[in-house]
Chains A and B, each alone.
Chain A
């Protein structure tokens, strides 16, 4: 059983950078085939932010217009998300999910990030 845990600040100032990490137990982040970040604004549905493949290929949602960076720190075995120049529209619960090839077999508990203005 894979357990995922997101961590990071719950409050970020507008125009600043949102930085989150995801750690796993029961599976190595570095050996996972496909990891993703998904977010859910309060009371709304799910939105894919981006994903990273085991081979290092990263894809992002086009709506983010280059504001996101996803990476794997192999030395710490952590998945990370940086979202730059945040606004109130980025307020959401952020989830990491993975690691299988058939998409998002396991999900973290999520972390609420509020952008303050």
Chain B
């Protein structure tokens, strides 16, 4: 199965400062239809995950534009341009290109 490796595993960020999370896949994520099925999820403490980004860089409805996704091949990044208090929690990447779908270990974001 495809291994998704996130870094860092924890991040302490000052409010208003940027943050960046990397996700590296053990295989390229281009599917036969030309799409890359890489999503980013955010899980606040005690809550269920919420999808933020799909197919690498598409923001879900209602997701603030301070979140952006990028990447290609095997290297992907989630960026938060200015961290706000509500952004704390754990962020996961997940690939759906190869069976079985696999998740990264998660990156815990806290406010410094």
Contact = CB atoms under 8 A, between A and B. Distances in A.
Interface of A: 36, 45-48, 51, 59, 61-62, 95, 97, 100, 102-110
Interface stretch (B11-19, B20-28, B45-53, B74-82): B45-53
Contacts of A48: 100-103
Contacts of B104: 45
A59 B99 contact: yes
Interface of B: 1, 35, 37, 39, 41, 47-51, 54-55, 58, 60, 92, 94, 96, 99-106
Given A95-B48, A107-B49, A109-B48, A46 B94 contact: yes
A51 B41 CA distance: 18
A103 B54 contact: yes
B92 A45 contact: yes
Contacts of B54: 100, 102-103, 105
19 contacts: A36-B101, A46-B103, A47-B103, A48-B100, A48-B102, A59-B99, A59-B100, A62-B1, A62-B100, A95-B49, A102-B55, A103-B51, A103-B94, A103-B96, A104-B39, A104-B49, A104-B51, A104-B94, A110-B48
Contact of A108 (B39, B48, B92, B100): B48
Given A103-B94, A109-B48, 16 more contacts: A45-B103, A45-B105, A47-B103, A48-B100, A48-B101, A59-B99, A59-B100, A95-B49, A97-B49, A102-B35, A102-B54, A102-B55, A103-B101, A104-B39, A107-B51, A109-B47
Nearest to A103: B96
Ranked nearest first, the 3 interchain pairs of A and B with the lowest CB-CB distance are A102-B54, A103-B96, A46-B103
A102 B39 contact: yes
Contact of A46 (B49, B50, B100): B49
A102 B37 contact: yes
A73 B107 CA distance: 36
A46 B40 CA distance: 12
A107 to B, nearest CB: 5
B25 to A, nearest CB: 14
